[in-house]
Structure 1
């Protein structure tokens, strides 16, 4: 057991990052609205996540640099280099701000079930005070830098909630033939945003940057790549199984419009009965706080690498980035918009931004001057380009749908 724990690498953190409020919310709604019919989209997301995160891990181990540092080093033309850096930073800022709003809203979703209505009226404005509570908690933990013990304990709660969904999925005794049929791809226009949401909640763009930065702390030589791959594959498959269980448990919920944590918790009622909403509320709060810490931190690491800042986590520049992302998250989650809607928007925003980051990653992974014999094989390039093509297609379809619906 000690050896197994010692070998746990960054893959577990990647999984913990995407098993958050967004995953629980989007997967439950996918199950409630469309039954098992979007299991294929989630399977596609898991495969895409493994392929892209393996590339990020390989880049980090071989070069001993993060993705943002590598991107900056590959361009000599200053105009082109800073244009691309601007695109990357903009994408990360937009994506992480949306994701942070979703994280905080997820924590609020959990708190409001136990504490009641999370809004107060100030001078004609409706203010979500629970968003401020979570924002202040995340700010304090990030500022003092002593958040690892709390984060690990919260991750345990998140994993506990996820395992509860796996048990619930088994207890509901789903029709196996219908479940298997759900893995057959079917594109329908009314499902397009949900498909993008499922991809956005599984393949989180900032995780590609975070993974490349974390692996170099654990593995120092290319000879250790098999360990990094094994860690990545096992962790992501585990997270994928949990996500599928949430969809299956959600499919057992009949004829409701998901509005709050109590509605989401109906998928756990076969296991926990009337206590289900409290189990889910605790898990959502834990997932929200954990992700509210990691999302701004990841954005700060990306900007630090792009700008070449030398200071550590307590430098003014580093802190200014995560403070800005955290502030945006608190503001957007306090505007009186329903938490469910904010979380769904965050996942769709991530899904739309994914092609930009994935495109940079696939390009970098073909730079022999950088990776030598560890560049992508033709099979890896084929899979990477297929993923890129699918995400671009889905993004364009969603934009077209919005135009048509206007």
Structure 2
């Protein structure tokens, strides 16, 4: 690695949190530093904001329900300005090449403008964490409507980010194909590089270590409509009707928590379901469950499932998005029908009644992780994509 090259990871999210985006950014930073690459993470939250800026933010958040698009635009502008200011300071007086790794189209746009102002030699790469597009994802969350101002702005940002980037990485082949189809003129910029994780060794227990099992099942993700955790509760209910009771830890928080807690009470599952809320480094909890369960209706290449593979735990999930790139049915895990909780419950019962299938799937999960999604495999591949000739693994 040449000393004159620096990697700057950029994100509009807080440096630490329970999202896959935050996990990815921090793990890229840690891997780069471990490999001797000069690197840093920049976000809009790197310094305390002025009293005036904080007052603006509070006011805009209060009027969000009345004027959502105005409030969003102004809040975005404040965050963009903070990110640009911090990046500008990072680039000031810098010599040599800088590699800018943005975690969203917006971050890419801010990075490009700041680097151009600084007049510094740079390579810009951004990664697509979204499912299909950020606009579509926001619609599915219920935060914007199709063809609204917010929708069109997200679409414009994505198109512009495709144009200005030197490369765009996609964790899944599923999303690579979508981006190449939607942006034919820039398809040659799109590079498939899978996500990776680097869990502490204490979480890796499937092939030898002894870890206390606290739950039968665990699921990690924000509690929102597209994550579909209500399906998991229906599966538990159907299994219970057949005489099988399984404990489940739902890790994460979000707008659907109250609805899900109400459903737990309605189905009389309170003694089976734990709501752990948002947890930092939630992946380390997976080894304390017998299996990982996933219910999302849309996915790219979920880091939580990769963490389950790393922990040597079989995965139950629907065949959506990039998930079939992570597990093969009846090998590293089991594909279940997201539209049919009764059938899914029967799959769960059949597997749990055959303990050797759980253990063999766990071992297969670990093998697949090491081969495809470990720092040595996918992590080095990402650094090579970002840094090119400046990096030697």
TM-score interval (norm. to shorter) = under 0.3
Structure number with greater Rg is 2
Q: Could you state the TM-score of these two structures normalised by the residue count of structure 2? A: 0.25
Point out the structure with the larger strand share.
Answer: 2
Q: Could you state the TM-score of these two structures normalised by the residue count of structure 1? A: 0.25
Q: RCO greater where, 1 or 2, for CA within 8 Å and sep 6 or more?
A: 1
